Amino acid sequence: MRQKIAIASLAMGVLLAVYQSHADVKPDDVTRNWPQWRGPLASGVAPNSNPPLDWSETKNVKWKIAVPGAGSATPVVWGDRIFVLSAVPAGTAPKPADDAAAGGQGARRGNIMPTQPQQFTVFAIHRKDGKVLWQKVVREQIPHESTHPTGTWASGSAITDGTNVYAYFGSFGLYCLDMNGRLLWEKDLGDMTIKNGFGEGSSPVLAGDRILVNWDHEGDSFIVALDKKTGKELWRTPREEKTAWATPLVVEGGGKTQVVTSATGKVRSYDVENGKLLWETKGMTPNTIPSPVAGDGMLYVMSGFRGNALLAIKLSAATGDISESPAIVWKYDRDTPYVPSPLLYGGELYMLKSNNGFLTAFDAKSGEKLYGPERLDAVPNVYASPVGAAGRIYIVGREGGAAAVARGKEFKVLATSTLDDGFDASPAIVDNELYLRGRKFLYRISKD
């Protein structure tokens, strides 16, 4: 019962904020799909799903298909369609003499350098058989900057409202397509200058009739709201921030629809209607990547590079500068994630340590540590964020391993799995199917 209450509270706070402009979209329609980064509740949980406990190349793989190009964007799913973003190399270009200069301002040697054009491509794939229904190249160009050795030029995830799909490639544009691949509008927000030339990674979020994009980089940072029907800019608010990769979170709190941004300088929340700052607090560690999660009136933000920071914030009490206020209900300063985002599942908050397979669990309301960090031998290195379904937590690793852990107060590994691929993109779960986007293949995991 506790889990159902928490999920219902989160659904009211997140689903209403995101889909309030769609009279024909019911909460059940959303929770039975995976329409955005971190899933229908923006928490990593698929509340109506029951995927297999384990798998291998010869077990519970309904199909797998090769996806051209490279991308660590999470697949999004609505109805019978899976949408995958990829940067596909096209043709050749002369290799610059100075690799670091070619990678952009401050690029590190060892980065992937932009030496040839990339086709920024949207793939629509049929869930039943893995066939490509359509593919659309929305832009072709040589990227202006490098990306991290483990990164891609298609790391931000798409979003969909069931009517259109919004494909986001950061500096290479935001594109609105209908479900059959027809381009309706596009928006170019400029070129980011990313710290160390490490590449981009934040995803947009949907709030009613608005798309919100956070644009934190080494230049003039801002957050912007666009009309989802036309791409018209509705408001833009400057931000005193440098590069961060965290995706914003839309929540209901204090009687307003808010968009929360997590970054190194400050954690801030803005009014979705006009972009005005509602509250703020001290920031995270450098290189903030994990996205916030929220449920049952609480918000959780964390990061873990060159330090550790976790804040649990009561949304109804957050106004103005909350750095020293009771709105911050509890804190934690160890074992937080660098790349993976946390999982909020029922009354528990789960997080990985740095990019490693060590899992910690908290009572989300009180901050009591339930266990951890506990080692997951099957997933020593992790970029993908944990997901939850059917009372299980699924964690996939960079070397192809995976672990299923029981949700609850005690640490229990239920099963381990492995595939012939490596996974940086976070999984998507729909119905009784789990979709894994690897470096080479897209897998549908479902019971044989």
Phi/psi for 386 (5° steps) reads -65, 150
Nearest-10 Cα torsion for 241, 247, 250, 251: -90
Tell me the average pLDDT of the chain. Answer: 93
Give 303-362 as a 3 state SS string.
Answer: ECCCCCEEEEEEHHHCCEECCCCCCEEEEECCCCECCCCCEEECCEEEEEEECEEEEEEE
Q: Please tell me the predicted confidence (pLDDT) of residue 14.
A: 54
- Give the confidence band of 62 by pLDDT, cuts at 50, 70, 90: very high
| pLDDT tens column, 149-158 | 999 999 999 9
Q: Please tell me the predicted confidence (pLDDT) of residue 448.
A: 84
| pLDDT tens column, 268-301 | 999 999 999 999 999 899 999 999 999 999 999 9
Rounded mean pLDDT of 118-123? 98
Residue 324 has pLDDT above 80, yes or no: yes
Q: Do residues 187 and 174 make contact, with C-beta atoms less than 8 angstroms apart? A: yes
Q: Which amino acid is at 255?
A: G
Rounded mean pLDDT of 39-66? 97
31 or 110, greater pLDDT: 110
Residue 100 has pLDDT above 50, yes or no: no
Phi/psi for 144 (5° steps) reads -80, -15
Distance of alpha carbon 360 from alpha carbon 87, whole angstroms: 34
Rounded mean pLDDT of 239-243? 97
Q: Please tell me the predicted confidence (pLDDT) of residue 21.
A: 46
Of 418, 395, 398, 396, the residue nearest 406 (C-alpha):
395
Domain 2-445 superfamily per CATH: YVTN repeat-like/Quinoprotein amine dehydrogenase (2.130.10.10)
Residue 277, CA distances (Å) to 196, 216, 266, 387, 391 in order: 29, 16, 12, 31, 37
The residues facing 222 across adjacent strands are: 215, 238
pLDDT above 90: percentage of residues in the chain: 87
Q: Which residue has the tokens 């964020």?
A: 385
| pLDDT tens column, 164-213 | 999 999 999 999 999 999 999 999 999 999 999 999 999 999 999 999 99
Could you tell me the strand order of the sheet in which 164-168 lies? 159-160, 164-168, 174-178, 183-187
Is the model's pTM score more than 0.75? yes
Residue 151, CA distances (Å) to 146, 290, 431 in order: 9, 16, 30
What are the structural domain ranges in the chain?
Answer: 2-445
